Amino acid sequence: MKLAYWMYAGPAHIGTLRVASSFKNVHAIMHAPLGDDYFNVMRSMLERERDFTPVTASIVDRHVLARGSQEKVVENITRKDQQEKPDLILLTPTCTSSILQEDLQNFVERATRTTNSDILLADVNHYRVNEFQAADRTLEQIIIFYLEKISKSSIKKTHQPSANILGIFTLGFHHQHDCREIYRLLKDLGIQINKIVPEGCSVLDLKKIPEAWFNIVPYREIGLMAAQYLEKNYDMPYIATTPMGLVETASWIRQIYKLISENIDANQTLPFKERFEKYIDQQTRFVSQAAWFSRSIDCQNLTGKKALVFGDGTHGAAMTKILAREMGINVCCAGTYCLNDGDWFREQVQGFCDQVLITEDHTQVGNMIAEIEPAAIFGTQMERHVGKRLDIPCGVISAPIHIQNFPLSYRPFLGYEGTNQIADLVYNSFTLGMEDHLLEIFGGHDVKTVITKNLSTDENLIWNSCAQKELQKIPGFVRNRIKRNTEKYARSKKITDITVEVMYAAKEALTG
Amino acid sequence: METLKFECETGNYHTFCPISCVSWLYQKISDSFFLVIGTKTCGYFLQNALGVMIFAEPRYAMAELEEGDISAQLHDFDELKRLCLKIQQDRNPSVIVWIGTCTTEIIKMDLEGMAPKIEEFINRPIIVARANGLDYAFTQGEDTVLAAMAHRCPKYKIQSASSIPLVLFGSLPNTVAYQLSKELEDQGIKISGWLPEARYEELPQLGPGVFVCGVNPFLSRTATTLMRRRKCQLIGAPFPIGPDGTRAWIEKICQVFQVIPKNLDQREANIWENLQDYLTLVKGKSVFFMGDNLLEISLARFLIRCGMVVYEIGIPYMDKRFQGSELNLLEKTCYEMNVPLPHIVEKPDNYNQIQRIRALKPDLVITGLAHSNPLEARGITTKWSVEFTFAQIHGFTNARDILELVTRPLRRNNHLKDLGWSKLVAK
pLDDT of A346 higher than 80? yes
- Residue of B49, B52, B77 whose CA lies nearest to B63: B77
Report the DSSP pairing between strands A355-358 and B126-130.
Answer: unpaired
3-state secondary structure of B41: helix
Q: pTM for this one?
A: 0.89
Rounded Cα distance between B402 and B388, Å, is 7
Residue A203 is predicted with a pLDDT of 96
Write out A147-212 in H/E/C secondary structure: HCCCCHHHCCCCCCCEEEEEEECCCCCCHHHHHHHHHHHHHHCCCEEEEEEECCCEHHHHHHHHHC
Mutate to test the interface with A, among B48, B75, B372 (most CBs of A within 10 A): B48
Which chain A residues have a beta carbon less than 8 Å from that of B349? none
Query: pLDDT of B8-22, one tens digit each?
Result: 998 999 999 999 999
pLDDT digits (tens, 9 = 90+) for A110-135: 999 999 999 999 999 888 899 999 99
Report the range out of A14-23, A45-54, A58-67 with the highest average pLDDT: A14-23
> Which DSSP helix (H) or strand (E) runs through A297?
helix A297-300
Please list the active-site residues of A.
298
Q: What whole-number distance in Å separates Cα of residue A134 and Cα of residue A128?
A: 9
B389 interfaces chain A, CB cutoff of 8 Å: no
Contacting residues of B for A62, CB less than 8 Å apart: 134-135
- Burial class, A441, CB count within 10 angstroms (exposed 0-12 / middle 13-18 / buried 19+): exposed
Distance of alpha carbon B415 from alpha carbon B419, whole angstroms: 9
* Confidence category of residue A403, pLDDT binned at 50, 70, 90: confident
Q: Does A419 touch chain B (CB under 8 A)?
A: no
Which comes out higher in pLDDT, residue B299 or A501? B299
Closest-CA distance, A440 to chain B, in angstroms, reads 32
CA–CA separation, A58 and A29 (whole Å): 6
Domain annotation for chain B: domains and CATH numbers:
18-136 (3.40.50.1980), 166-257 (3.40.50.1980), 264-416 (3.40.50.1980)
Residue A433 is labelled as binding a ligand: yes
CA B122-B124-B126 angle, to 5 degrees, is 105
Rounded Cα distance between B313 and B325, Å, is 17
Q: Which long-range contacts (CB under 8 A, 24 or more apart) does A417-422 make?
A: A417/A181, A417/A184, A417/A288, A418/A178, A418/A181, A418/A243, A418/A244, A418/A249, A419/A245, A419/A246, A419/A249, A419/A288, A419/A289, A419/A290, A419/A291, A419/A322, A420/A288, A420/A289, A420/A290, A422/A244, A422/A245, A422/A290, A422/A319, A422/A322
Nearest neighbour of A35 by CB, restricted to B17, B39, B83: B17
Q: Which of A73, A96, A131, A396 to mutate to test the interface with B (most CBs of B within 10 A)?
A: A96
CA angle A185/A190/A196 to nearest 5° reads 60
- The alpha carbon of residue B109 is apart from the nearest alpha carbon of chain A, in Å, by 13
Q: Cβ of B85: how many Cβ atoms within 10 Å? A: 14
pLDDT at A454: 47
CA distance A362 to B228: 46
pLDDT tens digits, one per residue of A321-343 = 999 999 999 999 999 999 999 99
Q: Do A128 and B67 touch (CB under 8 A)?
A: yes
Q: How far is B187 from chain A (nearest CA, A)?
A: 42
Partners of residue A385 in chain B, C-beta under 8 Å: 55
Confidence of residue A268 (pLDDT cuts 50, 70, 90): confident
| Mean pLDDT of the region A246-253 | 97
Q: How high is the ipTM of this complex?
A: 0.92
Let me know: does B297 contact B334? Beta carbons within 8 Å: no
A446 assigned ligand-binding residue: no
Q: What is the pLDDT of residues B90-124, one digit of tens each?
A: 899 999 999 999 999 999 999 999 999 999 999 99
Angle CA A158–A163–A164, to nearest 5:
115
The CB density around residue B309, as the number of other CB atoms within 10 Å, is 18
- Structural contact between residues B391 and B241, judged by C-beta atoms closer than 8 angstroms: no
**Could you tell me if residue A443 is left (phi over 0), alpha (psi between -120 and 50 degrees) or otherwise beta?**
left
**CA of B58 vs chain A CAs: smallest distance (Å):** 9
Reply yes or no: is the peptide bond before residue B196 cis, omega within 30 of 0: yes
Strand pairing report for A462-463 and A497-498: parallel
Q: Which of A312-321, A424-433, B202-211, B339-348 has the lowest mean pLDDT?
A: A424-433
**Whole-number percent of chain A with pLDDT over 90:** 66
A96-117 as b/e: b if 16+ CB within 10 A: bbbbbebebeebbeebeeebeb
pLDDT of residue B417: 84
The reply to whether residue B14 touches residue A40, judged by beta carbons under 8 angstroms, is yes
Is residue A455's pLDDT more than 60?
no
Assign residue B420 a region (left: φ > 0; alpha: ψ between -120 and 50; beta: otherwise).
Answer: left
Check residue B158 and give its pLDDT: 76
Distances in Å between the Cα of A224 and the Cα atoms of A140, A186, A329, A335 are 9, 20, 31, 21
Contacts of A486-489 with CB under 8 Å at 24 or more apart are A487/A456, A487/A458, A487/A461
Give yes or no for B221 touching A (CB within 8 A): no
Contact status of A455 with chain B (Cβ, < 8 Å): no
Within an 8 Å CB–CB cutoff, is residue A71 touching chain B? Answer: no
Closest CB to B133 among A33, A41, A56: A33
Which domains does chain A show, CATH number per domain? Answer: 12-148 (3.40.50.1980), 152-286 (3.40.50.1980), 293-441 (3.40.50.1980), 462-509 (1.10.8.550)
Phi/psi of residue B219, nearest 5 degrees: -105, 40
Task: Reply yes or no on whether the pLDDT at B157 is more than 90.
Answer: no
Measured between its terminal Cα atoms, the distance across chain A in Å is 47
**For range B60-75, the mean pLDDT:** 88
Q: Centre a 10 Å sphere on the Cβ of residue A436 and count the other Cβ atoms it contains.
A: 16
Chain A CB contacts of B87 under 8 Å are 3
Kindly identify which residue of chain A lies nearest to residue B76, measuring between CA atoms.
Answer: A1
Distance CA A54, CA B239 (A): 37
pLDDT digits (tens, 9 = 90+) for A470-489: 888 776 767 888 888 888 88
Read off the amino acid at residue A20: A
